[in-house]
Amino acid sequence: MTLSSRDRALIWHPFTQEQTAELPIVITKGQGSYLYDEHNNAYLDLISSWWVNLHGHANIAIANAIHQQALKLEHVIFAGFTHEPAVELCERLKALLPPHLARFFFSDNGSTAVEVAMKMAYQYWQNKGDFKRNKFVSFVGGYHGDTFGAMNVGRRSGFHDQFQELFFESVTISYPNTWDGDAEVEQKEHESLMQLQQLLVQEHQQIAAFIAEPLVQGAGGMRMCRPYYLKQVVSLLREYNILIIFDEVMTGFGRTGANFAFEIVGCVPDFLCLSKGLTGGFLPLALTITSNHIYEAFLSNDFNTAFAHGHSYTANPLGCAAAKASLDLLLTTKTQSAIQTINSCHLKYLPDLMQHCKFLKNSRVRGTIAAFELDTNYAYSIKDLKEQFLAKRLLLRPLESTIYLLPPYSITADELNDAYLKIASIITKHF
């Protein structure tokens, strides 16, 4: 019995229809931008393994940092105790962030980073004696994770329809998804801003917070919006005293070209959610970062105003050691110029691809992320396409009709060029 069929007999995989899915590919090792299967086939990881990997697989500096930390302290309860890796990590992140973002709350993954932000925002108003604020506002097509609170604000992403009945009050506004040469972008932005304005006029006193993935909606299909539009959204929300949560679980740590997407937007949220790239893709860890102003609303002599939330592995020292090492790598000139190189490659090769394959549309690039869509007039099967990408040893995972590249920063210009050429040949042949 092969390892993949033994797996099938035991393991229930995420986002998988187990009845119809192919047997999973057995990966035995990773090195740099490649993953290797049991037959030693090397797959170029163009999606950073669900957007977590920053510096390539099996990065030696991060591996060593985890090893050294494991020899000292693997874990300790984080209520009533603390440790150096957690404090140092937060100090280093704080130095990168605006002074406003000064308080760090740990959890384990992107969904929990969002749950924490939502719960904090809700409880902030409760602690202030404002008991009416029980609604969250989000964008159509946003995705914030699969736990209940996160699902609730990602309810129009298409992933969570079965759970509608269990959701609490929340409102979505339209998202001005845009791309190169989009003639209607201003109209879409205007409509979205009008919707928000109307909502705020009518319901601002019931709104606890607004949540968004700044600049790029990941799971919704790498849908991009313009920074100035988002800045206007934030200004409007500020006028009505609405708390702002930026979910940078995917966009954080250089993906959009800056360390964090909010820097490009030019405004600072009340809550910043980080995970995925936080540890460079080595260990599950998350942070919800907020202001002293929010933090102070939880201080009193009564435990009921405290934030009573935590996870067994909160601030795991190994995760913190990995995150510190990953952050050091991110800030090197080498990585910063690799981020620029990836962006330049997208800007060079994507237009060629679009020109070469007439049935592609809506190309867009933001930092290290490039995306385009297959025209719906052409019959295609995403399953076939995925298989053909794998046959050419490219790890790509289209989101419905959207194909995107979100590679680790270890990828070279030649590897990206080669990937674009292979994608062109597959798509051309496919139709």
Nearer to ligand PLP, 14 or 80 (CB): 14
The pattern of x and - marking residues 99 through 128 that bind ligand PLP according to CB under 6 A reads ----------xxx--x--------------
152 belongs to the binding site for ligand PLP (CB under 6 A): no
Q: Is 313 helix (H, G, I), strand (E, B) or coil?
A: coil
| Rounded CA separation 281/210 (Å) | 28
Binding segment for ligand PLP (CB under 6 A), chosen from 93-101, 213-221, 310-318, 342-350, is 213-221
Phi and psi, residue 45, nearest 5°: -85, 90
| Rounded CA separation 311/313 (Å) | 5
Nearer to ligand PLP, 243 or 345 (CB): 243
149 belongs to the binding site for ligand PLP (CB under 6 A): no
Using CB under 6 A as the binding rule, the residues of this chain from 262 to 291 that contact ligand PLP are 275
Please give the structure tokens belonging to residue 249.
């679980």
Nearer to ligand PLP, 167 or 380 (CB): 167
Nearest to 142 by CA among 273, 277, 283: 273
Nearest to 257 by CA among 412, 97, 368: 368
Contact 394, 44 (CB under 8 A): yes
How far from 155 is each of 17, 132, 143, 199, 423, CA to CA, in Å? Answer: 20, 22, 8, 18, 32
Task: Enumerate residues 6+ apart whose C-beta is below 8 A from 9.
Answer: none
Shortest reach from residue 159's CB to ligand PLP, in Å: 10
Binding segment for ligand PLP (CB under 6 A), chosen from 27-35, 142-150, 382-390, 412-420, is 142-150
Q: Which residue number places its CB atom closest to ligand PLP?
A: 110
| Rounded CA separation 353/254 (Å) | 24
Alpha-carbon dihedral sign for residues 159, 247, 126, 103: positive
Shortest reach from residue 406's CB to ligand PLP, in Å: 11
Contact 315, 78 (CB under 8 A): yes
Shortest reach from residue 331's CB to ligand PLP, in Å: 23
Nearer to ligand PLP, 251 or 335 (CB): 251
Nearer to ligand PLP, 111 or 279 (CB): 111
| Rounded CA separation 46/406 (Å) | 6
144 belongs to the binding site for ligand PLP (CB under 6 A): yes
Nearer to ligand PLP, 32 or 254 (CB): 254
218 belongs to the binding site for ligand PLP (CB under 6 A): yes
Helix or strand run (H / E) with residue 402: strand 402-405
Nearer to ligand PLP, 249 or 350 (CB): 249
Shortest reach from residue 149's CB to ligand PLP, in Å: 11
340, HSE (Cβ side, Cα atoms, 13 Å): 6
Binding segment for ligand PLP (CB under 6 A), chosen from 99-107, 141-149, 298-306, 388-396, is 141-149
249 belongs to the binding site for ligand PLP (CB under 6 A): yes
| Rounded CA separation 119/169 (Å) | 14
Nearest to 339 by CA among 265, 268, 256: 256
Shortest reach from residue 69's CB to ligand PLP, in Å: 22
Shortest reach from residue 118's CB to ligand PLP, in Å: 12
Interacting residues with ligand PLP (CB under 6 A): 109-111, 114, 143-145, 213, 218-219, 247, 249-250, 275
